Chains A and B, each alone.
Chain A
């Protein structure tokens, strides 16, 4: 049974619109992460969280907000979507003191027109 789920799996948005990507994990991990994946860039960290109520900026946070209302849920919010945010977004969870082991969701493909 999938331990990290994402919704929606596919999303088409218009420029300037608001987009919310949701992530749920049943691993009971403290840490959660949002990445985007683009050809030639690998995975880049957008925001992450150490637990409910906390959010931290990753390497490319501009244009994104994050929300961690509970241990299980972590959302990524694009207040004003732009075509440059067209990408595949992955959520992951991991232990706070883990040795690098993260568990990934299936991804959300976002297209901003």
Chain B
């Protein structure tokens, strides 16, 4: 069974704090991993992705994520959050052979207190 798990349903931080949103996967073989952001009432927007190479990937708006094969993780981080970062964040994965099909985690709602 292929799964993507996001252990935290909600994360609350103050503006200017750093934050890490966790994602773990259970897949074998080659894997693509990505993060999406969903603001309230909107569709999902792509943030960043990883397939190979440097395990730390940079995305938009200061977000980065780090892939760890040993931990089966792809955690998202930001050094200093802004109130506008409040949204739901989804981790997604697909097998290298799956021709575009993504499996999403349940999402983590990030609340940033101004």
Contacts and interface: CB of A to CB of B under 8 A. Distances in A.
Contact of A100 (B34, B45, B106): B34
Contacts of A42: 90, 104-107
Which size class do A's interface residues fall under?
A: 20 to 34
| Highest count of chain B CB atoms <10 Å: which of A45, A48, A58, A98 | A98
Which size class do B's interface residues fall under?
A: 20 to 34
A100 B43 contact: no
B21 to A, nearest CB: 14
Contacts, number: 65
A31 to B, nearest CB: 5
B106 A105 contact: no
Interface of A: 4, 31, 33, 40-45, 48, 50, 58, 90, 92, 94-107
